[in-house]
Amino acid sequence: MKNKQRPNNRKIISVGQIIGWLAVFAIAVLLFNKPGAKEITLDYSDFKHKVAAAEVSDLTIAPAMISGLYKNEEGKFAPFKTVRMEDPALVQELTAAKVKFKAEQDRSWIGNVLFNVLWIVLLIGLWWFIFIRPQRSDGKSALNFARSKAKMQDPSKQTVTFKDVAGCDEAKEELEDVIKFLKNPKKFQKLGGKLPKGVLLYGAPGTGKTLLAKAVAGEAGVSFFSASASEFVEMFVGVGAARVRDLFDQAKKNSPAIIFIDELDAVGRRRFAGIGGGHDEREQTLNQLLIELDGFESKQGIILMASTNRPDVLDPALIRPGRFDRHISVPAPDLKGREEILKVHAKKVKLGADVDLKQVAKGTPGFVGADLANVINEAAILAARGDKEAVGKPDMEEAIERVIAGPQKKSRIISKHEQHVIAAHESGHTIVARLTNHSDPVHKVTIIPRGQALGYTLQLPLEDKFLTSKSELLDKLCILLAGRAAEEIVFGEITSGASDDLNKTMSYARKMVVELGMSDKLGPVALPNGQDSEVFLGRDLSRHTTFSDELARTIDQEILHLINTSYARAKDIISKNRAAFDKLVSTLLEKEVVEASEIDEILGLKPAVQEDQAQPDASTPIEEKPKAQTAVRPEAKQAGLFD
Ligand code: ADP
Ligand code: ZN
């Protein structure tokens, strides 16, 4: 989450400001040089003629210049000036012609000095307005763009600890190392601990990444520097890089310390490799960040932490070993996590006896920490507005609705109906995955959103595989399509939720037919396929067909055939096991996460660890023979995720 209370005047100058001040400047110039009525410059000879004809008046005679009025062609008096010449007779002639005249000291001495001083004062004033004034409110006098605007928090004022962060125990556990290291870098090294350097926290906005980083600093008792990556990218090229440098310098002076960079993806996006170049400023900033990352030794007692909700778009160079090489997921909290987070925040308010936080947690699927903090806060405001002693149940309910209706959160928060659809969809994947013979064991299924997915079924393979059989691929197609099949069976309607599944199905089916020779009609042929070739501009233009239209049609037919039969099979499996399926759906809705053992229980299968055949319970009709399932190897590489 971005820090919302950051005052706006922190931004040094915006383009608008500059334009505004330039306008003021221009007006000032115009005022100073205020031209009077048009003044004509006469030749001295003309001037002398006019003196003789008494056609001048009101003269001002300065040492270098004569000015005044002259009679023009229309017979009207108009201003003129002329350069004064050595002419001792002039005064006599003027007196003779009865012309009114006066003498004046030359302005070029004092006048010019004054004039110039005025300009200098004006310029200084302008400079003060633009550069100094906007920063004074910060207590900083820096005229420096290059200064990092990072905020430092003193270890003594560090009040956030792990107690304040709930519902992400795994992330906390992983961060223990970092704390140990920061507390005593030397000892940590002596024990042979591998020094952490950069830690990347990733997860949806509001899941508590910033809070976690702060808590690490709090637990370790070190300084905490935080900056938002988007602040690095300002209007001038090079500023971002200078700020990064400055940030690291500041941190080094205050080590041990944590540097926390929020929204790392703002600078850390994959550098554009194609024609046309990328965003110069952003790239320079990123490069500087990489330089700093490589340049400091973690011995110096500095840990870099960063957060992002798009780890997938980060430049690979950033997450290489030796840089941000520890990746810690900060997921949206599950039911229990939500309850714990509510408890943390409820400490700050007085709760009525009728409020059951567990119940509140149940009613807030999809809420992240920031949302829950918001719920408690809103409820407290509502209670205060009603002059109540404590926050009551109605306040809580109203607050939840307010947070749901809040404009920015709508997309993430899930309605009851949607939750039902997601549960059915995932149950479809799960049941089919469990009941097909050649698929990987189901590890767990959840309807807690993660990344772009609204829920997922996690399968972990028993061993690393190098070969995949046709049966396995057919099962995979069936599992992929089972989500959509389940939606159709339960609701008689399908949703957009399966689009990713469908994409994957298509690419698997295509691969089977075109590359792996697994189609009955085509036989063992592999056909050239431009799809997986390297990405370069104009890829599509260069894709040439080396096979006939006839063959292309057969390929399409075969792909469709594979997909349609798999879909029918998925529907069949679900329908034949409808009772177990429904039970899984309701269990999922209640608990949000269902582990392997419970899935087996619901399906009436023996627990997973058995040797060869886990036999179906005689009472439950199981369409396909369940496969052998052994303990899951957690380190298994190729996890199957079905959104
Ligand atoms: P992120 O950095 O992931 O966007 P923040 O750390 O800024 O999220 O979270 C914003 C606020 O939401 C925190 O200040 C805290 O009040 C609340 N919050 C978020 N996650 C949690 C959590 N796991 N436990 C307690 N409070 C949380
Ligand atoms: Zn799906």
CATH label of the domain that carries residue 345: 1.10.8.60
Please write the tens of the pLDDT for every residue from 408-432: 444 566 788 888 999 999 999 999 9
- Report the Cα 78 to chain-centroid distance in Å: 68
Q: Determine the pLDDT at residue 489.
A: 94
**621 in the same domain as 475:** yes
DSSP β-bridge partners for residue 66: 61, 82
40 token code pair:
């004509």
Please write the tens of the pLDDT for every residue from 342-389: 999 999 899 988 999 988 888 787 788 999 999 999 999 989 988 888
- From the CA of 452, the nearest ligand is 2
Residue whose CA is at the smallest distance from ligand 1 atom 25: 165
Question: Helix, strand or coil for residue 203?
Answer: coil
> Which has more pLDDT, 255 or 429?
429
Q: Determine the pLDDT at residue 592.
A: 85
CA distance 177 to 189: 12
The answer to whether residue 238 is domain-embedded is yes
Residue whose CA is at the smallest distance from ligand 1 atom 5: 208
What is the total count of domains within the chain? 5
**456 in the same domain as 324:** no
DSSP β-bridge partners for residue 41: 81
**255 in the same domain as 228:** yes
Give the range among 22-26, 241-245, 429-433 with minimum mean pLDDT: 22-26
Give the range among 98-112, 535-549, 575-589, 604-618 with minimum mean pLDDT: 604-618
**602 in the same domain as 564:** yes
Q: Determine the pLDDT at residue 30.
A: 61
**483 in the same domain as 601:** yes
496 token code pair:
């957009």
pTM more than 0.85: no
Q: Note whether 418 and 609 are within 8 A (CB).
A: no
CA distance 571 to 569: 5
Per-position b or e across 341-363, b if 16+ CB within 10 A of its CB:
bbbbbbeebebbeebebeebbeb
Q: Which of 153, 210, 211 to mutate to test the pocket of ligand 1 (most atoms within 8 A of CB)?
A: 211
**190 in the same domain as 62:** no
**562 in the same domain as 481:** yes
**483 in the same domain as 423:** yes
Question: Which residues are known to be catalytic?
Answer: 426
Q: Note whether 470 and 505 are within 8 A (CB).
A: no
Ligand 1 binding pocket, CB closer than 6 Å: 1, 165-168, 205-211, 307, 341, 344, 369-370, 373
**449 in the same domain as 470:** yes
CATH label of the domain that carries residue 522: 1.20.58.760
Q: What is the arithmetic mean of pLDDT over 615-643?
A: 38
Q: Note whether 638 and 465 are within 8 A (CB).
A: yes
- From the CA of 641, the nearest ligand is 2
Q: Could you tell me the residue range of the domain that residue 591 belongs to? A: 416-641
Please write the tens of the pLDDT for every residue from 545-567: 566 788 888 889 999 999 999 99
- DSSP assignment of 8-69: GGGS---HHHHHHHHHHHHHHHHHHT---S--EEPPHHHHHHHHHTT-EEEEEE-SSEEEEE
Instruction: Please give the share of the chain, as a percent, with pLDDT higher than 90.
Output: 20
- DSSP assignment of 382-440: HHHHTT-SSB-HHHHHHHHHHHHHSGGGTTTS--HHHHHHHHHHHHHHHHHHHHSTTSP
CA distance 341 to 357: 10
Q: Determine the pLDDT at residue 561.
A: 93
Please write the tens of the pLDDT for every residue from 211-234: 999 999 999 888 898 888 877 776
- Report the Cα 567 to chain-centroid distance in Å: 37
**243 in the same domain as 176:** yes
**312 in the same domain as 249:** yes
32 token code pair:
């100073």
**479 in the same domain as 586:** yes
